[in-house]
Structure 1
């Protein structure tokens, strides 16, 4: 069984954009010297300016141990399994994979930055709403800053005034991550212990293989409910792309190009039986006929109705582009 993912991310000494450099120096020292606990504490004090208390240093050491970068062997510190892997490869890609695999929420934060930059306060809200198990005080912005600064140090995010935005490298990462991380940590951000959730979720991702953190990022934007049918069970919801997955790979990881639909409504949408226009009004294919009361009530009888849950969540430009391609809608 893989180790639990960590909810707390600890900053490194050396400044907001130097976490990776600091980590490299610590791992190099541990690999070369195999220090005792006291020696590792003393090295920190002698190596970094304005290092605070022993407890502060120990908190960072404990974090590196929890991730697996270092481990104690008797009375000495050595490289742990993750540290050994990273030092051997020494690439940002390897470090990023380790950090995303071992820490809750980093990928969902990157996905949330795709549409637009965010302030630290917005980052904090996004993380807590998407990953309720993080559990920190919403008024404590330090937790959000630590996550943003790790991503800055990794080169995926940059700061512009009071806002944080994806770098080109960050955008390249999310474009591949949404598929690369499919099937990982299937309960990312989900606090329920309902056994049916995991089972039905596995079925869901077979239909559209997406990163669970991307999926959860989308679901929480809609309060975990299909905006068309009202279905509110995670296991019965799919992440539906407006501009199709296969035709527009550059938009696969954009939360404003997706919405959660029940499985049957996802199928109906993909078969062009209904659509939503750029004003968020529902339109029904004139050739769509059904005897199903469910489909009549949730699709046919709603023709012309507004779907307010989509406003601010789905980009009107994507809806326009999609509707231009299907032919029967004239709006």
Structure 2
């Protein structure tokens, strides 16, 4: 996967839910005719009502070239590597992988939507919070609209009133992507190289998560461990309430995860402490330590309400996690 991904996602002609139909038509035309730029412009003008601007048409062709769908050689257009792969495979999974591989933010938006439907303003804020390198202005929704429309065209997102929600296909993708995309080399644009690490220590063995999922979780929790106050991204883990190994369907569920320091994540996995439905810290009475840090951040805070976003965890997940713990 390229780490130099595109920050701007360009819309296709034909309407907000027709991007893929338009993409397919362009690729079919280019494969059959290897057109010049003039011929490609002429085809667009003949195929889409009210489309006449050469600059607008060529901006879309340039975007498809950057993604890898098209390639220009001696003023003739042909299929690029991604275009040939997509046509040969002919499935939406291939297209989705290509788009996520080349465009910043599509995966993290899908992860965010697992937690619930979002308005365009919320989509815009989520993208900027997780990917500050996007750089658009707060309150701007044009770029958020293009991201949503690409995902709608792929059948992963649907519009419900003024909100956008995952479809069943979108949910299935996020459930598998958090592990399948774990080897992504994407590095968030922050002043901390440690943020890019996707691997964290677990109770039994090391496991790896998609760096975009990790970045989404850390952004949602203000990049701070609510137990220890650690706010260095390289020292934070994604901690699952319902365990990664026992509940694979909830691995990419944002309402099942916390951002914890590596030490406090290990303590949580070893059931030395937990949190209850009211977000109060509950400490295992058998937990003894001579560490000033653990005494101050865990034992001395027994019964204290920790600071995490309201409704960020599903109460039933917390109840299910705590059910075997006799001391809760």
How high is the TM-score relative to the length of structure 2? 0.95
- Residue by residue, what CA displacement relative to the aligned partner does 1:239-261 show, whole Å, maximum 9, x if unpaired? 00000011111111111100111
**Distance apart, 1:311 and its partner CA:** 2.8
Instruction: Assess, with a 3 A threshold, how the Cα gap between structure 1 residues 207 and 301 changes in structure 2: closer, same or farther.
Output: same
Residue 307 of structure 1: aligned partner = 306
Query: What 5-or-longer segments of structure 1 have no aligned partner?
Result: none
**Distance apart, 1:317 and its partner CA:** 1.9
Q: Which moved more, 1:24-33 or 1:221-230?
A: 221-230
Q: Which moved more, 1:50-59 or 1:81-90?
A: 50-59
- Hey, what's the Cα distance between the residues in 2 that align with 1:196 and 1:17? 38
- Hey, what's the Cα distance between the residues in 2 that align with 1:162 and 1:50? 27
- Indicate whether 1:264 and 2:263 are aligned: yes
Residue 92 of structure 1: aligned partner = 92
**Distance apart, 1:321 and its partner CA:** 1.2
Query: What 5-or-longer segments of structure 2 have no aligned partner?
Result: none
Residue 74 of structure 1: aligned partner = 74
SS in 2 for 1:164: strand
- Hey, what's the Cα distance between the residues in 2 that align with 1:163 and 1:142? 15
Residue 20 of structure 1: aligned partner = 20
SS in 1 for 2:323: helix
**Distance apart, 1:310 and its partner CA:** 4.4
- Residue by residue, what CA displacement relative to the aligned partner does 1:248-307 show, whole Å, maximum 9, x if unpaired? 111111111001111110000000000000000000001000001010000000001001
Q: Which moved more, 1:49-58 or 1:225-234?
A: 49-58
2:2–2:186 Cα contact (<8 Å) kept: no
SS in 2 for 1:223: coil
Residue 146 of structure 1: aligned partner = 146
Q: Spell out the pairing of 1:42-191 with structure 2 (5 A cutoff).
A: 42-187=42-187, 189-191=188-190
- Residue by residue, what CA displacement relative to the aligned partner does 1:13-70 show, whole Å, maximum 9, x if unpaired? 0111110110000001011100011111111011111214211111111100110100
Residue 204 of structure 1: aligned partner = 200
1:227–1:310 Cα contact (<8 Å) kept: no
Residue 231 of structure 1: aligned partner = 230
- Indicate whether 1:251 and 2:250 are aligned: yes
- Hey, what's the Cα distance between the residues in 2 that align with 1:210 and 1:93? 19
1:19–1:150 Cα contact (<8 Å) kept: yes
- Hey, what's the Cα distance between the residues in 2 that align with 1:77 and 1:3? 26
Q: CA RMSD in A?
A: 1.5
Q: Spell out the pairing of 1:308-327 with structure 2 (5 A cutoff).
A: 308-327=307-326
How high is the TM-score relative to the length of structure 1? 0.95
- Hey, what's the Cα distance between the residues in 1 that align with 2:185 and 2:179? 13
Instruction: Assess, with a 3 A threshold, how the Cα gap between structure 1 residues 46 and 308 changes in structure 2: closer, same or farther.
Output: same
How many residues are aligned here?
325
- Hey, what's the Cα distance between the residues in 2 that align with 1:279 and 1:77? 60
Instruction: Assess, with a 3 A threshold, how the Cα gap between structure 1 residues 108 and 202 changes in structure 2: closer, same or farther.
Output: closer
SS in 2 for 1:308: coil
1:236–1:262 Cα contact (<8 Å) kept: yes
- Hey, what's the Cα distance between the residues in 2 that align with 1:271 and 1:39? 65
1:208–1:239 Cα contact (<8 Å) kept: no
1:204–1:236 Cα contact (<8 Å) kept: no
Residue 284 of structure 2: aligned partner = 285
- Residue by residue, what CA displacement relative to the aligned partner does 1:97-138 show, whole Å, maximum 9, x if unpaired? 000111010011011111211111111111111100001122
SS in 1 for 2:159: strand
2:2–2:102 Cα contact (<8 Å) kept: no
Q: Which moved more, 1:135-144 or 1:123-132?
A: 135-144
2:239–2:260 Cα contact (<8 Å) kept: yes
Instruction: Assess, with a 3 A threshold, how the Cα gap between structure 1 residues 257 and 306 changes in structure 2: closer, same or farther.
Output: same
SS in 2 for 1:128: helix
Q: Which moved more, 1:312-321 or 1:77-86?
A: 312-321
